[in-house]
Structure 1
Amino acid sequence: MKLYNLKHSDEQVSFRQAVLRSIGRDSGLFYPTALPRFADVDALLAQPFVARSQTILDRLLGEDFDAGVIPALVERAFTFPAPVHAVSEKVSALELFHGPTLAFKDFGARFMAQVMAHLLERGDHQGPLTIVSATSGDTGAAVAHAFYGLPNIQVVILYPKGRISSLQEKLFCTLGGNIRTLAVDGDFDSCQALVKQCFTDREFVTRFGLNSANSINIARLIAQSTYYFEALAQLPQRDRVVISVPSGNFGNLTAGLFAQALGLPVHAFVASTNANDTVPRYLQSGIWNVRSTVPTLSNAMDVSAPNNWPRIEELFAHAQRSLSSELRHAAITEPETLAALRELDQLGYLAEPHAAVAYASLKRNLHDNETGLFLCTAHPAKFKEAVESTLNRQLPLPAALAEADRRPLLSHEVPATLAALQQQIAAAWQ
């Protein structure tokens, strides 16, 4: 796979280079020069999840690796299912929380970690490798667990202090070892801005071998495209499927659109946001107006300046498609989120705020002759307080969360400054 920098199209790289650089000149995102279209999607959908994912990712990335490498990395990364659960006659849920950190980001983070470890082993990168990522909740845990204990890699994760759930925090801020976590005095956009600023200092980037495991890195998005194929493989009705994606930084939706470009017959996507509604307002007005981030129950989506949006615009421009008319959207309020949680519970399905946003948005955008699917991106117990208070009942903790909850926090509290971040990165190697 060849990729180019969206800000400087003359900067073209291989997939291996894109993974190790993470981001291009002037913080430009890497984007594929072309995506192949699979001719026989029905045959693909007939395969088991891991075998199908090996076929897809080997076709996309195999030219950059020795024969058999990509299938082996997929097998090591995808060790858990992505089941579809029928919620009503027309609507189903894709459960993406059966991995080790109970969130959808386990798919992309684990594949990316396996790729990076392989590239280090074969000598593609010399010197230290430092993974620097911002998280609004689930990325931190997925990245921390995916890279935990890998040799010659240090991980530094930034998150907005007091703005993620306590169980989310415990899941990745209690590991220690090669995982360093920073509670930043600011919101997620501040954390993301710091990561971007860090990558503009080329001398610092080179000295510590900086890389990112955010959805800035194309490896995560390419891997995530595979579970959209798995979703349709399990649906009994694949005609006119509309998929609602809870969206904060818009990496998950980008992955879905990649799958569609590869030939997956998705009729339409819904960009589902909470009160941080930059994209829905933009699609309605054509004006990109970033407001201050508002804290919500669906905190992993509390993003006002979504980093992956340029990739989505590029995808639609490449295909000469109209964003404003083809990409459905909705911004769901807090009362609507709570009402959706209760409605799903009455239907016999236990969800959490992000899935509730996706469900409410899907209902608003689903037509009578269509089949709906919404993404459940995290286990309900990760948002135990919100779910319990809304549904007025107790949730048992899965073993992974119960174990993490017993461990002490190891985070460092830091101001939202580049100097503080750089100091922490240097300290990780001392």
Structure 2
Amino acid sequence: MKLYNLKKTKEIVNFSKAVKLGLGSNQGLFFPNTIPKISKKKLKKLLKMNFIDRSYKILSMFIKSEISKKNLKKIVSTSFSFTKPKLKNIVKKISCLELFHGPTLAFKDFGARFMAQTLFYLNKKNHPITILTATSGDTGAAVAHAFYKMKNIKVVILYPKGKISKLQEQLFCTLGENIQTISVNGTFDECQNLVKKSFQNSEIKKKTHLNSANSINISRLMAQICYYFEAFSLVPKKYRKKIIISVPCGNFGNLTAGLLSKSMGLPIKKFVLSTNSNNTVPRFLQTGYWNPHKTISTISNAMDISEPNNWIRVKEIFLKNNWNIKSLGYGSVSEKNTKKNLLELFKLNYISEPHAATAYKVLKKYKKKEFFGIFLGTAHCSKFQKTVEKVLNISIKLPKRLSKYSKKKIISKNIDPDFNELKKILLI
């Protein structure tokens, strides 16, 4: 598999190097030189497979001989060794694809665990590696638990202080061992900028063998492609030609993976993106102007991102396929409407959380009678316990996976969004 740097197209690497580097020169993201195509006949066979076997087949189309069949099968089965995605019917021809049945109760478990297992396998010489990543919510927990106690791999996670839920914070800021967490007095975008500056610094890169576990790492996106095929396989055959999928978007990695699945030949009729009030992309699609505003805090905090990294990959997919980017559905949802849709889903006997509620709201805007609508459920409602309880006026019992962390002490360091402060920590 060959990948090129979107900011420096002459920089071409294989899959192994792209995973190890995370970012290319000039902070460029890697993108596949060619996207594998799946014929209708092959798709039919794939859809009959179970989730693990199908995921192995899909990923092997990209990775090919860089990882042996035996080792790739082992990586995939270990990475996805939890309850597979579920398609939960809400009303007739509208369902939620529940992606939150993994160890940290969020869709990020798929990408983070696949990346962790792949990087551990590729690090055959056991060189010390530092994983540096920023999180606006669920990435932190997924990455921390995926790499927890892995030999010769140190993980440093930045997050905006006071801008993620308490339970999200406790899930990854209480582990210790090889996991170091840093709260930053600022926004997610400022955390992300600190990560970018670290990758630009030759001293840090040389001394720490720096890598990133954000969705900028191509391995995470590739893992996420797999659950779009699973979603398609769960839809009744009579509706498969008219599927519309609504994706809650923060850094736009999830949408990128969905569009890659469509590029491969998965016949999704339409993709719809939803954001909260941090609506840079919907405004761009409406006006043609890229004008990020200052990031604001919302109850759908994982989407509190004004400058999404993966938007450049989304544009590249449309360019490669000669698709019209205006074919993308889009919408942004206010706090008031997010709460309103949480209540609407509750009246339909479904307890959701803020991110899925935005996707549900925007889906309704595009869903017509003949379409089968799917909105992504990216996190378990209990991860936003206080918010959901307040909006719905109910009590939510925490799953065991969360309750055992809810009483643990947070051991994060706190810094200002100052690169020199972070540099000192990384070089210790």
Query: Residue 199 of structure 1: SS of its match in structure 2?
Result: helix
1:222 is displaced (CA, Å) by: 0.4
Is 1:418 paired with 2:409?
no
Deviation at 1:59, TM superposition (A): 1.8
Give the match for residue 348 of structure 2: 347
Percent same amino acid among aligned pairs? 49
In terms of mean alpha carbon deviation, does 156-165 or 44-53 score higher?
A: 44-53
1:70 positional shift: 1.1
Contact 1:270 1:362 in 2 (8 A): yes
What are the Cα deviations for residues 307-335 of structure 1, in whole angstroms up to 9, with x where unaligned?
Answer: 000000011011111112x1100001111
Partner Cα distance (2:260, 2:80) in 1: 19
Matches within 5 A, 1:326-365: 326-365=327-366
Query: Could you say what secondary structure the match of 1:393 adopts?
Result: coil
Match of 1:296 in 2: 298
TM-fit CA distance, 1:214 = 0.2
Cα distance between partner residues in 1 of 2:215 and 2:167: 22
TM-score (norm 2): 0.98
Indicate whether 1:281 and 2:283 are aligned: yes
Give the distance between the partners of 2:204 and 2:404, measured in 1 at CA: 37
Distance in 2, matches of 1:241 and 1:42, equals 17
Shift of 1:406: 1.1
What is aligned with 1:168? 168
The Cα shift of 1:38 comes to: 1.1
Secondary structure at the aligned position of 1:4 is classed as strand
Partner SS, residue 63 of structure 2: helix
Stretches of 4+ aligned residues off by more than 4 angstroms: none
**Aligned pair partner of 2:318 in 316, 320, 329:** 316
| Structure 1 residue 66 displacement after superposition | 2.3
Give 2:129's aligned residue: 129
Q: CA RMSD in A?
A: 0.9
1:95-110 equivalence runs, <5 A? 95-110=98-113
Alignment length, in residue pairs? 423
In the aligned structure 2, how far is the partner of 1:20 from the partner of 1:313? 24
Contact 2:131–2:154 (8 Å) recurs in 1 = yes
CA contact (8 A) 1:77 1:107 kept: yes
Q: Distance in 1 between matches of 2:89 and 2:286?
A: 32
Q: In structure 2, how many angstroms separate the alpha carbons of the residues matched to 1:140 and 1:227?
A: 21
State the Cα deviation string for residues 373-406 of structure 1 (Å, max 9, x = none): 0000000000001100011010000001100101
TM-score, structure 1 length as denominator? 0.97
Q: Which moved more, 1:392-401 or 1:38-47?
A: 38-47
Cα distance between partner residues in 2 of 1:263 and 1:69: 26
Task: Determine if contact 1:62/1:70 at 8 Å carries over to the other structure.
Answer: no
Q: 1:374 maps to what in 2?
A: 375
Q: Say which SS state the counterpart of residue 69 (structure 2) adopts.
A: coil
Q: In 1, are the aligned partners of 2:249 and 2:303 still within 8 Å (CA)?
A: yes
**Counterpart mapping for 1:130-169 below 5 A:** 130-169=130-169
Structure 2 gap ranges (5+): none
Q: Which amino acid aligns with 1:129?
A: I
Q: What residue in structure 1 maps to residue 8 of structure 2?
A: 8
Q: Which residue of 2 aligns with 1:215?
A: 215
Question: Alpha-carbon deviation of 1:89?
Answer: 0.3
Aligned residue among 247, 263, 273 for 1:245: 247
* Gap runs ≥5 in structure 1: none
User: Any conservation in 2 of the 1:58–1:71 contact (CA below 8 Å)?
Assistant: no
Q: Is 2:114 aligned against 1:111?
A: yes
Q: Tell me the CA shift for residue 365 of structure 1.
A: 1.6
Shift of residue 262, structure 1, vs aligned partner: 1.1
CA distance in 2, matches of 1:274, 1:139: 18
> What is the SS of the residue equivalent to 1:228?
helix
Query: Residue 321 of structure 1 aligns to which amino acid in structure 2?
Result: W
Residue 233 of structure 1 corresponds to 233
1:195 matches 2:195: yes
Residue 67 of structure 1: CA displacement? 3.1
Supply the distance in 1 between the matched residues of 2:330 and 2:282 (Cα, whole angstroms). 6
